[in-house]
Amino acid sequence: MAYDPSNIFAKILRGEIPAYRVYEDERTLAFMDVMPQSDGHTLVVPKSPAENIFDLDPAMAAAVIQSGQKLARAVKHAFNADGVMLVQYNGPAAGQTVFHFHLHVVPRYADQPLRSHGRSMADARLLEEHAQRIRAALQAG
């Protein structure tokens, strides 16, 4: 399947639709997942057009992992998480629903099961509050 530039993350990257942005550098952007599987669930995307792991430039893969590591540290600190999961899906059969490569950064809390994948929209004020906590943790280093 060819990369479709009308996907929702491409629109976020172009600034055509809003997102709860938490981190940006030359090659990547990170923002809150609007249907979080746990509090602090964040997504990291490359700024280059890639549908999934199969067409992602290796240098961009490295950039996404570097940002993912920053975000993992920040969400762990911001939410006092017990652990952090880094996950990504390739192709509909694997559970991918948005066809611009993305890395899920999902804080985990002991004894708390994950909420369903991409199922229920979180409250806008809560997402903004969570985004602020992550930005503050990133700034604190």
Q: Which two tokens stand for residue 97?
A: 């629903």
77-28-69-58 Cα dihedral, nearest 10 degrees: 170
Kindly name the residue from 102, 104, 117, 130 that is annotated as catalytic.
102
Active site residue 41: no
Told to check if 89 binds ligand AMP by CB under 6 A, we report yes
Among 69, 46, 67, which residue's Cα sits nearest to residue 58? 46
Binding residue (CB under 6 A) for ligand AMP from 7, 66, 69, 96: 96
Closest CA to 102 of 133, 137, 68: 68
Contact between 65 and ligand AMP (CB under 6 A)?
no
**What is the C-alpha R_g of the chain?**
14
> For ligand AMP, which is the closer residue by CB, 68 or 140?
68
Determine the size of the site formed for ligand AMP (CB under 6 A). Answer: 14
53 binds ligand AMP (CB under 6 A): no
Strand, helix or coil for residue 53 = coil
Question: Please, what is the minimum distance in Å from the beta carbon of residue 4 to ligand AMP?
Answer: 13
Question: What are residue 46's DSSP bridge partners?
Answer: 28
The contact set with ligand AMP (CB under 6 A) reads 8, 19, 31, 33-35, 43, 89, 95-98, 117-118
